[in-house]
């Protein structure tokens, strides 16, 4: 498959982090939680704390792969009336401070119109799309739209993926390959997955594209463990929980920045 001809912001980010001999720190927060304005402020706090790449979550009513923390945030965002136009507003603000991708289930993109969504995402300054429930062999329309609008295509592999599936997914992906380090739904965990290093090693045998590892990291110590074998450490639920557990919005922003600083110290150790 062809690839985007010029380096994307994500390509440039990984060139920089590799030159610095460290992993990139990727942080996820859903658009519209607790409000659109507060989600933008939370992203800005996360980046100020050291996050290199932002994943903006598109809230969805049937998040089958999300754990309870992200589900609760998505429910709040949807109750606030968050729509794709709002997600794009958040992307626009986020892209002003860091490379930004959208994490979304496929159905909302398909309903919106694949090329229309790609065009709008690119116009908002987005760098690409993470599609957890879209596999490359069913993604021809998305791949074509992404290439037409200069967007990266970030596909997922799991410990259960066959070697053939891993090779095909890595070939189709751009920006980085997303390795889900544990089986099941998302959520912070007490320990990082023992399956993660082997999954990354299997990817390394088929591609030199950057590999990001997600699902479970919640502190700097765990981030350090993952950074030892991955190109990017992806954190979601732990950051969302900072907002869920906060007594007020300002406390939530402070908690997010503190956690981001701790995670960044982990990827730099």
What residues are labeled active site? 55, 66
Strand 100-103 with 53-57, pairing:
parallel
As a whole number of Å, the CA-based R_g of the chain is 17
Q: How far apart are the first and last CA of the chain?
A: 36
d(CA 153, CA 25): 18
Q: Sheet of 156-157: strands edge to edge?
A: 152-154, 128-130, 100-103, 53-57, 24-30, 232-235, 211-214, 177-180, 156-157
Residue with tokens 């100020």: 48
Identify which of 90, 77, 22 has the alpha carbon closest to the alpha carbon of residue 264. Answer: 22
């Amino acid at each position: 498959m062809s690839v985007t001809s010029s380096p994307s912001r994500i390509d440039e980010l990984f060139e920089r982090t590799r030159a610095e001999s460290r992993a990139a720190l990727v942080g996820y927060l859903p658009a519209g939680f607790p409000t659109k304005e507060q989600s933008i402020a939370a992203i800005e706090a996360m980046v100020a704390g050291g996050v290199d790449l932002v994943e903006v979550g598109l809230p969805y009513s049937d998040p089958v792969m999300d754990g309870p923390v992200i589900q609760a945030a998505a429910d709040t965002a949807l109750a606030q009336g968050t729509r794709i136009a709002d997600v794009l507003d958040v992307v626009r603000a986020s892209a002003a401070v860091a490379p930004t991708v959208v994490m979304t289930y496929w159905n909302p993109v398909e309903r919106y119109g694949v090329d229309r969504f790609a065009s709008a995402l690119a116009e908002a300054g987005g760098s690409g799309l993470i599609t957890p429930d879209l596999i490359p062999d069913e993604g021809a329309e998305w791949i074509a739209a992404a290439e037409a609008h200069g967007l990266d295509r970030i596909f997922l592999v799991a410990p259960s993926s066959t070697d053939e599936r891993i090779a095909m997914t890595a070939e189709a992906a751009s920006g980085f390959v997303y390795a889900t380090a544990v089986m099941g739904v998302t959520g912070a965990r007490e320990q990082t997955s023992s399956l993660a290093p082997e999954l990354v090693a299997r990817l390394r045998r088929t591609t030199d594209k950057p590999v990001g590892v997600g699902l479970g990291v919640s502190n700097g110590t765990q981030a350090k463990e993952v950074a030892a074998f991955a190109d990017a450490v992806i954190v979601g639920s732990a950051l969302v929980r900072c907002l869920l557990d906060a007594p007020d919005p300002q406390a939530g922003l402070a908690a997010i920045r503190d956690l981001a600083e701790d995670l960044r110290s982990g990827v730099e150790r």
